[in-house]
Structure 1
Amino acid sequence: MNAAGTGRYPFRNARPGQMSKAELFLRNAQDLKGKGGLFLRNAQDLKGKGGLFLRNAQDLKGKGGLFLRNAQDLKGKGELFLRNAQENKKEPQG
């Protein structure tokens, strides 16, 4: 299945940190598209009620920012489903 077509992005090698007070830290998160290098740092569950909002998520390659909105952990088994993920591509200048 094409992960981009379904809007489903399970993270590989994502290790939850200390699961206290609904804080979820994602480390070594990778983009399944194979374009490489999407790392989510300091991602926190701000609501604590199943809603995970990732702010300031950036593509380290500088080819545009990836903004993840309304991300929810639906299964609670280490798979994170991201809905409404949009890639804001910048056109080359010059």
Structure 2
Amino acid sequence: MGYEDLDISALLLVRCLPGYPYKCPKLQIIPEKGLTKCQADTLLSLLNDQANANAREGCVMIFNLVEAAQEFLSEIVPVGQSQESVCYPHL
């Protein structure tokens, strides 16, 4: 979706549990190219917050979670191009 020129990637593992979409899926982020562990943790926190909000309303959410992850990754400066690595605590 237009992100092919970025050298950043991560795996998003989603396991839907009984009760989905009223129960949040189990999410896991595995950082790959250009993504630090800290950034992966921040992304996971963001996705869990979004999943909790969607689950309260019983909304199916997998596509929305993938879109949110793509947007997050599109805003990251790849590790080799950044002058300093900043880790933000979970909000």
Fold-level similarity (TM above 0.5): no
Give the TM-score taking structure 2 as reference length. Answer: 0.38
More helix by share: 2
